[in-house]
């Protein structure tokens, strides 16, 4: 009988990419991939540990899988598995814990377990040993239209709050020829948009002197015939070079969208976070980007309640975020991570204060997202259509290059096409309109 496997994911775009790669690997080996809410023989939980909420949600998903089919094999991988293997293994029902370095060997590991050749336990290696870029075995396809392309792994920055360098190891870049080859294959396979992902994507090429940097790589990728859109997922402010902005401005298929994690709008807090820029410098960067890329969507991440953050330092962040008028905000409550510098800083901020700051900033983020969307009412925008809205026949949805979701009715099936839509109204941060 065909074995069934279900994969679920927490956390970042790289994890999403890797989960679809895992599903494809199982499919290629003859397994049937089913939804995580269905009974399956094997459950794969691809976890996140960026904050303690990542850990908690990971544990919840593991327990849910155990309840759904008590006889199923539970396999836990990802950053939480890498950082806390013993904790994961102690959850009832967990059979295998697979660290970030062995993720793509997961089918072999599962089969060894099923054949009785491997005892339940953890397969976790040192992330600082033998660190070449591990080419993903297969591409990841979140929709029929858009594909993720992982170009880089790891990070050497060691921001004071962040555990990810310990979970994924040092910076390593994928060979540009391999990136280009995979991109051409994806486009030949019908994909219209490629999203470049990585852990510290902006540092692409820095580990290989003389190799292409991110701007150079994007310039090459943008030339692939048939590629309607090339999108960048997240870039650190220090990595946004003039050349990168230039390439974005001159390549018509590169999306006007930059996710630039700010983390704090207070210079003292930024320095203690070990972020190597000031708000003044960031302001100039944003001005420059907006001049060169009119209409650009600039989105960001903010951490509230970093150790020692005072009320007035938080006010500085609040005011700076409003001044920068980000198109979208991801707000994180600071979570001490074992082994990071900031975990042992004095003056940890209390949970209720973090909660209150987070709520205020989330509300501001919603306000900013709505006004960014509303500024498009009455305009014509280009939408790459992703799908028919589930349960709404004749209604389609997709994204603009500057990351606005637009829905509209259409008599024809326009999935995969770049269509022009006249925006009629905004519904919160999303838009509705008419195809023209």
Binding site for ligand 5AD (CB under 6 A): 50-51, 161-162, 261, 263, 301, 303, 332, 334-335, 337
**Where do the H-state alpha helices sit in 69-153?**
79-83, 85-89, 106-114
φ, ψ of residue 73 in degrees (nearest 5): -90, 130
Burial (CB count within 10 angstroms: exposed 0-12, middle 13-18, buried 19+), residue 389? middle
3-state class of 90 per DSSP? coil
**CB of 184 vs ligand 5AD, minimal distance in Å:** 30
Q: How far apart are CA 304 and CA 263, in angstroms?
A: 8
The pairing of beta strand 380-388 with beta strand 418-427: antiparallel
Q: Between residues 214 and 426, which has the closer beta carbon with respect to ligand 5AD?
A: 214
Shortest distance, CB of residue 190 to ligand 5AD, whole angstroms? 31
Largest Cα span, the chain: 64
Please name which of 122, 105, 100 lies closest in space to residue 167, comparing C-alpha atoms: 100
Q: Least separation, in Å, of the C-beta of 336 and ligand 5AD?
A: 7
Q: Which H/E stretch holds residue 329?
A: strand 328-333
Measured from the CB atom, the residue of 142 and 261 that comes closer to ligand 5AD is: 261
Cβ atoms of 298 and 261 closer than 8 Å:
no
Contacts of 182 (CB under 8 A, 6+ apart): 139, 149
Q: Which is nearer to ligand 5AD, 157 or 241 (CB)?
A: 157
Based on CB atoms, which residue is closest to ligand 5AD, 42 or 361? Answer: 361
What does the chain come to in residues? 436
Q: How far is the CB of 250 from ligand 5AD (least distance, A)?
A: 28
Taking the complex as a whole, the smallest distance from the CB of residue 11 to ligand 5AD amounts, in Å, to: 8
* d(C-alpha 13, C-alpha 398), whole Å: 18
Shortest reach from residue 307's CB to ligand 5AD, in Å:
10
Nearer to ligand 5AD, 176 or 202 (CB): 202
CB of 82 to ligand 5AD, least distance (A): 15
Among residues 50 and 123, whose Cβ is nearest to ligand 5AD? 50
Burial of 241 (0-12, 13-18, 19+ CB in 10 A): middle
Q: How far is the CB of 434 from ligand 5AD (least distance, A)?
A: 37
- C-beta of 138 vs 343, nearer to ligand 5AD: 343
Q: Nearer Cβ to ligand 5AD, position 314 or 334?
A: 334
């Amino acid at each position: 009988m065909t074995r069934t496997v279900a994969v679920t994911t927490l956390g970042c775009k790289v994890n999403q990419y890797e989960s679809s790669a895992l599903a494809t690997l199982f499919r290629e080996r003859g397994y049937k991939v089913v939804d995580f809410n269905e009974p399956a023989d094997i459950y794969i939980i691809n976890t996140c540990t960026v904050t303690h909420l990542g850990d908690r949600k990971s544990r919840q998903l593991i327990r849910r899988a155990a309840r759904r089919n008590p006889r199923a094999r539970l396999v836990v991988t990802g950053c939480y598995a890498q950082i806390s293997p013993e904790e994961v293994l102690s959850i009832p029902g967990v059979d295998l814990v697979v660290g970030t370095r062995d993720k793509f060997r997961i089918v072999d590991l599962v089969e060894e377990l099923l054949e009785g050749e491997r005892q339940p336990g953890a397969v976790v290696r040192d992330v600082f040993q033998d660190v070449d870029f591990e080419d993903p075995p297969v591409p990841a396809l979140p929709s029929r239209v858009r594909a993720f392309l992982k170009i880089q792994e790891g990070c050497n920055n060691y921001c004071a709050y962040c555990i990810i360098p310990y979970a994924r190891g040092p910076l390593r870049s994928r060979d540009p020829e391999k990136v280009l080859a995979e991109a051409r294959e994806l486009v030949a396979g019908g994909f219209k948009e490629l999203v470049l992902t990585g852990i510290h994507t902006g540092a692409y090429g820095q580990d290989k002197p003389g190799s292409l940097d991110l701007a150079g790589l994007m310039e090459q990728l943008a030339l692939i015939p048939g590629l309607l859109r090339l999108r960048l997922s997240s870039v650190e402010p220090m990595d946004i070079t003039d050349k990168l902005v230039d390439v974005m401005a001159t390549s018509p298929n590169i999306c006007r969208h930059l996710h630039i994690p700010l983390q704090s709008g207070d210079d003292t807090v930024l320095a203690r976070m070990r972020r190597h820029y000031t708000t003044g410098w960031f302001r100039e960067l944003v001005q420059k980007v907006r001049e060169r890329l009119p209409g650009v969507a600039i989105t960001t991440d903010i951490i509230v309640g970093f150790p020692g953050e005072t009320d007035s330092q938080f006010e500085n962040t609040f005011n700076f975020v409003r001044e920068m008028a980000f198109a979208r905000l991801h707000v994180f409550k600071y979570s001490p991570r074992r082994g990071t510098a900031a975990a042992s800083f004095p003056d940890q901020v209390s949970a209720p204060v973090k909660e209150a700051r987070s709520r205020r900033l989330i509300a501001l983020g919603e306000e900013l997202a709505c006004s960014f969307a509303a500024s498009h009412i009455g305009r014509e925008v280009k939408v790459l259509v992703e799908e028919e809205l589930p349960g709404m026949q004749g209604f389609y949805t997709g994204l603009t290059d500057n990351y606005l979701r637009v829905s509209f009715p259409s008599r024809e099936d326009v999935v995969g096409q770049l269509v022009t839509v006249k925006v009629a109204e905004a519904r919160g941060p999303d838009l509705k309109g008419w195809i023209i």
